A = this chain, B = another copy of it.
């Protein structure tokens, strides 16, 4: 029933399977996640690169096996996301430390480096059959007060984690969205040489 993430991947170049298969479902199975498996996601995040090795990423984690903690986390999501996220077995929030620990100066890579960590986490998830749907639709101030964040930390995104499931319990518009093909801009709009907008010519460029 769940969408095959490999569909729509039309590149001729071989890309690592969990990178190809990673996607952001809204339809999750209620199947619980083995704690060891879940831990491996955060291990993957932990080994990401970061500016000055600051490792600004932090995570708040809530699993369905702890119903009160799960309900509290769910309330931090906007209603439109709560409706589908409540079926997933794991919720999390990514946070970032906005200043460098050594100097106290603003870390302009604070959000970027959380992105590095969460991509590792998501690719690791895909490698063990899980998927992660990140949502910006949550209440940062609610996360801040609920989890008593120190002032120098900012909530970044919500993470809905689990095994992909059947979309039958989604409202019709989201069912349709769930089945839509993944789309991305072509490489010619993303990778440039010499000046912005001049597409890279892959063959000539590296031929020598």
Chain A residues with a Cβ under 8 A of chain B: 9, 11, 13-16, 18-20, 22-24, 32-40, 42-49, 51, 53, 55, 57-63, 65-66, 69, 95, 108-109, 111-120, 122-124, 127, 134, 136, 147-150, 153, 156-157, 182-185, 187, 190-197, 200, 202-203, 205-208
Chain B residue at smallest Cβ distance from A123: B123
Which residues on B sit within 8 Å (CB–CB) of A120? 19, 119, 123
Find out whether the CB atom of A32 lies under 8 angstroms from the CB atom of B206: yes
Which residues on B sit within 8 Å (CB–CB) of A95? 196
Partner of A11 from the list B18, B43, B112 (CB cut-off 8 Å) is: B43
Nearest CB in chain B: distance from A140 CB, A = 10
Nearest CB in chain B: distance from A108 CB, A = 8
Find out whether the CB atom of B34 lies under 8 angstroms from the CB atom of A47: no
Bound-complex Cα distance A79 to B2 (A): 51
Partner of A46 from the list B36, B115, B185 (CB cut-off 8 Å) is: B185
Find out whether the CB atom of B16 lies under 8 angstroms from the CB atom of A124: yes
Nearest CB in chain B: distance from A80 CB, A = 14
Which residues on B sit within 8 Å (CB–CB) of A156? 112
Give the residue among A122, A136, A191 with the most B Cβ atoms within 10 A: A191
Find out whether the CB atom of A192 lies under 8 angstroms from the CB atom of B58: yes
Partner of A63 from the list B40, B149, B206 (CB cut-off 8 Å) is: B206
Which residues on B sit within 8 Å (CB–CB) of A182? 47
Find out whether the CB atom of A136 lies under 8 angstroms from the CB atom of B35: no
Chain B residue at smallest Cβ distance from A46: B184
Partner of A196 from the list B48, B58, B116, B191 (CB cut-off 8 Å) is: B58
Which residues on B sit within 8 Å (CB–CB) of A118? 115-116, 119
Find out whether the CB atom of A69 lies under 8 angstroms from the CB atom of B193: yes
Partner of A205 from the list B35, B116, B117, B187 (CB cut-off 8 Å) is: B35
Which residues on B sit within 8 Å (CB–CB) of A24? 49
Bound-complex Cα distance A38 to B202 (A): 8
Given contacts A38-B206, A184-B47, contact A61 B19 (CB under 8 A): no
